[in-house]
Amino acid sequence: MKKPLILLTNDDGITAPGLRSLIQFMKEIADVVVVAPDSPQSGMGHAITIDNTLYSKKVIIDKEKGAPLEYSCSGTPADCVKLGLQEILNKRPDMVVSGINHGSNSSINVIYSGTMSAAIEAGIEGIPAIGFSLCDYAWNADFSAVGDFAKKIVLEALKNGIPSGTVLNVNIPKTDGLPPKGIKVCRQAKANWKERFDKRTSPTGKEYYWLTGEFELLDKGEDTDEHALSQGYISMVPTQFDLTAHHTIQHINNWHLNE
């Protein structure tokens, strides 16, 4: 049987261990082409390059036999998907898979995530897409327990389809070498970041700021991604990119806007 074609990308950069692991997992079930940033792009959200030049080149990182085609891109994760679909691939892929991100993209983190914005960009183009993240920020994080689950999720999505206007946000708990307990389909937990800026002074006397903060969970529900992850389960949140707050339209229509 002909293998599906999957476009891979990430936001940690083309050499990141999370992406290198994802390539190995996806090669077992699909033909793979990689278009990923040439440097880390974490926290870029859905930024795209519109006022600067964009560069891409073919690269060889894995020299083993059967290594996939890989292209580095000077832009953001969303740029990588746009470029991959419009210029690099000669046909429409069956799916776009982004990750594996070093660190959580659950709850409110999805808003800032370059990993998930790449998946959303594919979804906007009508292509099924999944973003994978491991809740471990370490560069040398252990991705070995992710493989079987990632392959299962991708195969099920290819077989059954992902509803139009939706992409999947998959987060894998850090389990210290043990496999996750399973997969739970969840809603996004309500949470926020209690942020502050650490004000510092450079050796030359110039003041600068470093953003820091603490994650604040505001949701006690047991049907959320944060709860699933805390119990050792993989969370999978169907994520839409129609940002309309449909439930508030009637309320705002009651305003006297045209009087």
Question: Is residue 42 part of an annotated ligand binding site?
Answer: yes
Q: Is 12 annotated as a binding residue?
A: yes
Q: What is the pLDDT of residue 31?
A: 96
- Is the pTM here over 0.85, yes or no? yes
Q: Is 21 annotated as a binding residue?
A: no
User: pLDDT category, 175, cuts 50, 70, 90?
Assistant: confident
- Categorize the per-residue pLDDT at 176 as very low, low, confident or very high, splitting at 50, 70 and 90: confident
DSSP state of 85: I
65 pLDDT more than 80: no
The pLDDT confidence band at residue 259, using thresholds 50, 70 and 90, is confident
Sole residue written with tokens 């502050």: 196
Which pLDDT does position 92 carry in this prediction? 96
Residue range 198-252, pLDDT digits in tens: 999 999 999 999 999 999 999 999 999 999 999 999 999 999 999 999 999 999 9
- Model confidence at 157, in pLDDT bands (50, 70, 90)? very high
Give the pLDDT confidence score for residue 37 in this predicted structure.
97
**11 annotated among ligand-binding-site residues:** yes
pLDDT of 64 reads 82
> For 68, which DSSP code?
P
Report pLDDT for 35. Answer: 98
- Sequence-distant (≥ 6) Cβ neighbours of residue 113 within 8 angstroms: 11, 43, 45, 101, 105, 131, 133
Task: Determine the Cα–Cα distance for residues 135 and 230; give it in Å rounded to an integer.
Answer: 11
Q: What is the per-residue pLDDT for 170?
A: 98
Question: pLDDT per residue over 1-50, tens digit each?
Answer: 689 999 999 999 999 999 999 999 999 999 999 999 999 999 899 999 99
Q: What are phi and psi of 239, to 5 degrees?
A: -115, 125
C-beta separation of 71 from 58 below 8 A: yes
Per the listing, tokens 């870029």 go with 44
Mean pLDDT of 167-173: 98
Q: Tell me the pairing of strands 95-102 and 191-201.
A: unpaired
Write down the pLDDT at residue 63. Answer: 83
- Residue 178's pLDDT band, with cuts at 50, 70 and 90, is confident
User: Is the distance from CB of 146 to CB of 175 less than 8 angstroms?
Assistant: no
* Whole-angstrom distance, CA of residue 221 vs CA of residue 234: 16
For the segment 124-142, the average pLDDT, to the nearest whole number, is: 96
What's the whole-number average pLDDT of the chain?
A: 95
User: Which CATH architecture does the domain made up of 5-188+221-253 adopt?
Assistant: 3-Layer(aba) Sandwich (3.40)
